[in-house]
């Protein structure tokens, strides 16, 4: 019912948006002798703010056209190298540099399936691209997947990660941002239990809910307070006609976006008030910066209901992975089986979505790793999005990930990969994190 109301409201507002757009064009035309008066500028600014707040934002583009490799500017081309029903494996091909021949490590960035598109990690890709052969999971909007293509749940998510890693082959380094931390860790555990030759060389978990009992946030408490039946009744809807996924049960992206917006409603309100003021003043740089952010932030996708409900139940309510009870296709997920995959965790000091310690909990679970295969880092002064984008990501976080990957590559090339010393790591990750955060 929520979805149909949303669609009807959007349709009802469509002619109003058109009138607003037309009024703005008439007010700002050079033929209008009053275009520069305060009243007209205020009305035109109000029309633009209204149009921006009520329109639907489509999937953004990565728009990465070039990068610098060893001081040389190289064109970049996006290509889908493996397609699946709910996800494409996207490769950022650095033209003129053959994959596998550059000597740069292969990196698989696992983007979250949590409402926003993979393009939210544009900055993450840009910084990795110069020195890594970079791939990313580009998840498909569930409302665009026909019902006859079947369902998609957390087990399928894990299977997709395993399939992508096997496709890329040995010596692949995995970076999981936010929600995929749990399925990525589970995928590594499943591959380790099978002694898969394509086990990841390293795995970096960034701001992920591995154990949400540690420093729970508002998001964590909401997931725990309500029974899973409440979520099924209140936030699961069927995709309305005429979308391709008509009839599919989904967790609509607009509901997820509403939740994110209300968490910081005052900040978003002030941002749009500031936009209005900048439009009146004609501050184009500030206006463009606002639009660039919100065109990404307001572009949302629907999640398959099976995946959403299973994730809430398994990760946020049962804490199945840290409790040792997580199952995948009838098998228990045992992170202690991981012995050949170096582990790094990255957290933001001010993260209000995944509290401090929730990602670092992965180190306690991976007790089969040697002490020198554990790396933990807490970035001071950043929230959730600052972990994978922005200045601190570029200047402080990414260089640490780069060095970790290079050190793992070096050890593997000389046959010195650490594969033992159970429980020897326990004091090391926290000590490293405290030093790094000073």
Q: Note whether residue 246 is domain-resident.
A: no
Helix (H) or strand (E) holding 27: helix 2-28
Band the pLDDT of 136: cuts 50, 70, 90: very high
Asked which of 301, 327, 353 is the last residue of a domain, the reply is: 301
- Enter the tokens of residue 336: 């202690």
Contact call for residues 180 and 124 (beta carbons, < 8 A):
no
Q: Average pLDDT for residues 232-237, to the nearest whole number?
A: 93
- Enter the tokens of residue 179: 């929600």
Residue 232 has pLDDT above 80, yes or no: yes
Residue 434 has pLDDT above 90, yes or no: no
pLDDT score at 148: 95
Q: Note whether residue 376 is domain-resident.
A: yes
Helix (H) or strand (E) holding 149: none
Please tell me whether residues 281 and 416 are part of one structural domain: no
Please tell me whether residues 315 and 370 are part of one structural domain: yes
Q: Note whether residue 238 is domain-resident.
A: no
Contact call for residues 60 and 296 (beta carbons, < 8 A):
yes
First-to-last C-alpha distance (Å) of the chain: 50
Please tell me whether residues 33 and 100 are part of one structural domain: no
How many structural domains does the chain have? Answer: 2
User: Using one digit for the tens of pLDDT, what is the confidence trace for 350-371?
Assistant: 998 999 999 999 999 999 999 9
Domain that holds residue 395: 67-220+304-436
Neighbours of 105 (CB within 10 A): 21
Band the pLDDT of 312: cuts 50, 70, 90: very high
Q: Note whether residue 243 is domain-resident.
A: no
Please tell me whether residues 78 and 12 are part of one structural domain: no
Band the pLDDT of 100: cuts 50, 70, 90: low
User: Using one digit for the tens of pLDDT, what is the confidence trace for 253-274?
Assistant: 988 888 778 877 888 889 899 9
Residue 420 has pLDDT above 70, yes or no: no
Q: Average pLDDT for residues 278-306, to the nearest whole number?
A: 89
Please tell me whether residues 289 and 331 are part of one structural domain: no
Largest CA distance in the chain: 79
Question: In this structure, what is the dihedral angle of CA atoms 284, 287, 291, 294, given to the nearest 10 degrees?
Answer: 160
For the chain, percent of residues with pLDDT exceeding 70 = 93
Please tell me whether residues 277 and 324 are part of one structural domain: no
Band the pLDDT of 238: cuts 50, 70, 90: very high
Residue 411 has pLDDT above 80, yes or no: yes
Q: Report the C-alpha gap between 320 and 211 in whole angstroms.
A: 9
Lowest mean pLDDT among 116-125, 149-158, 194-203, 419-428: 419-428
Q: Average pLDDT for residues 411-424, to the nearest whole number?
A: 59
DSSP letter at 348 equals: E
Please tell me whether residues 127 and 93 are part of one structural domain: yes
Higher pLDDT, 73 or 438: 73
Please tell me whether residues 83 and 213 are part of one structural domain: yes
Higher pLDDT, 295 or 376: 376
Residue 325 has pLDDT above 50, yes or no: yes
pLDDT score at 215: 94
Residue 289 has pLDDT above 50, yes or no: yes
pLDDT score at 416: 61
Place of tokens 């840009």: 126
Place of tokens 């970790």: 404
Higher pLDDT, 107 or 16: 107
Please tell me whether residues 278 and 135 are part of one structural domain: no
- Enter the tokens of residue 26: 């008439």
Band the pLDDT of 394: cuts 50, 70, 90: very high
Q: Report the C-alpha gap between 343 and 246 in whole angstroms.
A: 41
Q: Average pLDDT for residues 235-262, to the nearest whole number?
A: 89
Q: Report the C-alpha gap between 94 and 73 in whole angstroms.
A: 10
Q: Note whether residue 254 is domain-resident.
A: no
Residue 432 has pLDDT above 70, yes or no: no
DSSP letter at 59 equals: P
Average pLDDT in the chain? 90
Band the pLDDT of 101: cuts 50, 70, 90: low
Give the range with max mean pLDDT: 26-35, 67-76, 339-348.
Answer: 339-348
pLDDT score at 428: 39
Q: Note whether residue 61 is domain-resident.
A: no
pLDDT score at 99: 62
Q: Average pLDDT for residues 27-39, to the nearest whole number?
A: 88
Q: Note whether residue 230 is domain-resident.
A: no
Q: Report the C-alpha gap between 293 and 198 in whole angstroms.
A: 37
Please tell me whether residues 417 and 317 are part of one structural domain: yes
Give the range with max mean pLDDT: 26-40, 256-270, 340-354.
Answer: 340-354
Supply the CATH number for residue 129's domain: 3.40.50.1820
Please tell me whether residues 198 and 311 are part of one structural domain: yes
Asked which of 301, 329, 364 is the last residue of a domain, the reply is: 301
Band the pLDDT of 14: cuts 50, 70, 90: confident
Band the pLDDT of 345: cuts 50, 70, 90: very high
Q: Average pLDDT for residues 322-345, to the nearest whole number?
A: 97
pLDDT score at 187: 98
Q: Report the C-alpha gap between 267 and 269 in whole angstroms.
A: 5
Q: Note whether residue 326 is domain-resident.
A: yes
Q: Average pLDDT for residues 239-254, to the nearest whole number?
A: 92
pLDDT score at 417: 52
Cis amide leading into 242 (omega within 30): yes
Please tell me whether residues 308 and 296 are part of one structural domain: no
């Amino acid at each position: 019912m929520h979805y149909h109301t949303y669609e009807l409201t959007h349709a009802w507002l469509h002619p109003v948006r058109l009138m607003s757009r037309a009024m703005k064009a008439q007010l700002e035309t050079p033929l209008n002798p009053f275009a520069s008066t305060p009243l007209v500028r205020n009305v035109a600014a109000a029309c633009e703010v209204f149009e921006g707040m009520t329109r639907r934002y489509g999937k953004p583009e990565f728009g990465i056209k070039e990068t610098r490799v060893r001081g040389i500017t190289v064109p970049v081309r996006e290509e889908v190298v493996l397609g699946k029903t709910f996800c494409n494996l996207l490769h950022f091909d650095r033209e003129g540099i053959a994959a596998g021949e550059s000597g740069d490590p292969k990196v698989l960035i696992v983007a979250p399936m949590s409402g926003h598109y993979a393009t939210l990690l544009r900055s993450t890709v840009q910084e990795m691209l110069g020195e890594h052969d970079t791939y990313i999971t580009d998840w498909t909007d569930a409302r665009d997947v026909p019902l006859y293509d079947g369902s998609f749940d957390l087990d399928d998510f894990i299977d997709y990660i395993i399939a992508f890693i096997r496709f890329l082959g040995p010596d692949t380094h995995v970076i999981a941002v936010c929600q995929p931390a749990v399925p990525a860790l589970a995928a590594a555990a499943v591959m380790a239990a099978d002694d898969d030759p394509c086990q990841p060389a390293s795995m970096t978990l960034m701001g992920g809910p591995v154990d949400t009992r540690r420093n729970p946030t508002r998001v964590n408490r909401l997931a725990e307070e309500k029974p899973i039946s409440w979520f099924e009744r209140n936030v699961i809807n069927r995709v309305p006609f005429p979308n391709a996924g008509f009839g599919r049960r989904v967790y609509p992206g607009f509901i997820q976006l509403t939740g994110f917006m209300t968490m910081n409603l005052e900040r978003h309100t002030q941002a749009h008030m500031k936009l209005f003021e900048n439009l009146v003043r004609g501050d184009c740089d500030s206006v463009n910066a606002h639009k660039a952010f919100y065109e990404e932030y307001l572009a949302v996708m629907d999640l398959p209901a099976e995946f959403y409900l299973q994730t809430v139940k398994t990760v946020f309510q049962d804490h199945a992975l840290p409790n040792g009870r997580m199952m995948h296709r009838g098998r228990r997920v045992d992170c202690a089986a991981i012995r050949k995959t170096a582990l790094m965790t990255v957290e933001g000091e001010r993260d209000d979505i995944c509290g401090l310690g929730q990602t670092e909990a992965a180190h306690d679970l991976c007790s089969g790793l040697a002490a020198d295969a554990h790396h933990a880092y807490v970035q001071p002064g950043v929230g959730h999005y600052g972990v994978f984008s922005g200045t601190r990501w570029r200047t402080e976080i990414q260089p640490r990930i780069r060095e970790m990957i290079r050190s793992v590559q070096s050890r593997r090339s000389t046959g010195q990969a650490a594969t033992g010393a159970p429980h020897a790591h326990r004091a090391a990750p926290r000590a490293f994190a405290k030093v790094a955060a000073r």
